[in-house]
Amino acid sequence: MNQRTSHVVLLAVILAAAIPSIPGSARGASLGPDLPGWMLAGPASAGPTPEDGAIHDALTRANAQLALARELTQSGHIPEALAAVRLGIASLDSLPPARPGVATVRGDLEKVRDECTRLDDGEEPPPSLEPVAFERNARVDKWITYYTGRGRERFQMWIDRSGPYMELLTRNLRSEGVPEELANLVFVESGFNMNAKSRARAVGPWQFIRGTAKIFGLEMTPYKDERRDPEASTRAAARYLRKLYTLFDGSWPLALAAYNSGEGRVLRAIKRQKTNDFWRLKLPRETRDYVPQFLAAMEIASHPERYDFRPPEHSMWTYDVVSVPGPVDLKLIAKVTEVPLDELQRLNPALVRHRAPAPKDGASLRVPHGSGEDVQAALDTSYDPKPLTKKELRQATRAHRLEIRASRRGRTHLVRRGETLSHIARRYGVSVSSLVKRNKLKHAGSIRAGQRLRIR
């Protein structure tokens, strides 16, 4: 054992003895950092109180565990580092995230946890991208004026909805090395409605169409649609945004414009107009407004009191995970476990139907935080669902096929000069061979500018 390792182990022993045990357990993937303004500052106080002393002590314990976790990580003691992270997070569980310092320490602890997880799996963390710079101009002011005027009631509803999810989204973005302020994009995309569906059949908080969702690994079956899951869809959105950021040479305005209207359209506009300045590009109206809308939402969400908005109530999206023996029947699970059906549906938005067949590797279900052991015991002793009938299976499959057909209906692409069939296929998440067959082409190279291709 070398001198550095001895020092680390000794430090771990000393801190373990000095810091009292902390009740409770870490909350896992549902915790997050401090993005919006309402998470940054607590209410003013006339002077120190006993509560302030308790908060100070908890933060001191958390910071000590943070220092220990970093030291253990650097020396390669990953299990011990993860244990220190769990203790540090547990010491913060009873503290309101709006208190100064709480969210920052929690975020730092989670960064160490993410690093440990990747090191344990032999993975290199993705490099962190540059933050999104806030730009203020007349086009952004227009949307700030709208959101604080005629659109005030709707934006307040979005803020209220964001309360349980904002920390979750920012944590998952940060884990992918993507700026956490991009969580504010969900204000513009879906207003934090996990079940949102657009006229273009885009679904979920990040509004993925089926083709793009498939490219970035989201599962879509007759019983499950991960586009509606805030964790899975955020990871996919982060990977897509990273790709766009790289494609547009580190320009977040151009990357966001491409997220809205497709990279091909933005690339063509840049080439045709000979400028890569988003603010000078002539793009479709929806896309021209999209980036200013995002910047306006980011400004207001970061400083809600400045614009006379009510911050959301603190209700983080936390949960325990249980194993469901046999087919999933949410109504029966609600009855057996006494967890309200609407709560099960809120925690498991990816479940398309309340009944689903049992997967080969078993079914996992999110349940309210702190109830996992009781719910699992109830499922193991009292849960006896009936298998899905042939009629149920047929109905689910038929509905799924109809949804796929509806998403494909009317999907065509106008070929632009210089485009290849492989580029078009990648954009829509289809194969080159399917485009050749559907459009009765002689071969992949037999397309021309101005030709309209059927995509689906």
| CA 382/CA 455 separation, integer angstroms | 49
Give catalytic status of residue 189 as yes or no: yes
Active-site option among 176, 181, 189, 231: 189
Angle at 249 between CA 246 and CA 255, to 5 degrees: 65
| CA 137/CA 5 separation, integer angstroms | 54
Angle at 444 between CA 442 and CA 447, to 5 degrees: 80
Identity of the amino acid at 445 = G
Identify the H or E element spanning 210: helix 210-215
Structure tokens at 179: 């700026």
How far is CA 231 from each of CA 71, 166, 218, 360, 370, rounded to the nearest angstrom? 29, 11, 11, 23, 20
DSSP 315: -
Strand duo 452-454 + 412-414: pairing: antiparallel
The neighbour count for residue 346, using CB atoms within 10 Å, is: 15
Identity of the amino acid at 169 = L
Identity of the amino acid at 46 = A
Residues in the chain: 456
| CA 389/CA 397 separation, integer angstroms | 13
Contact yes or no for 252/294 (Cβ under 8 A): no
Q: Just list the catalytic residues.
A: 189
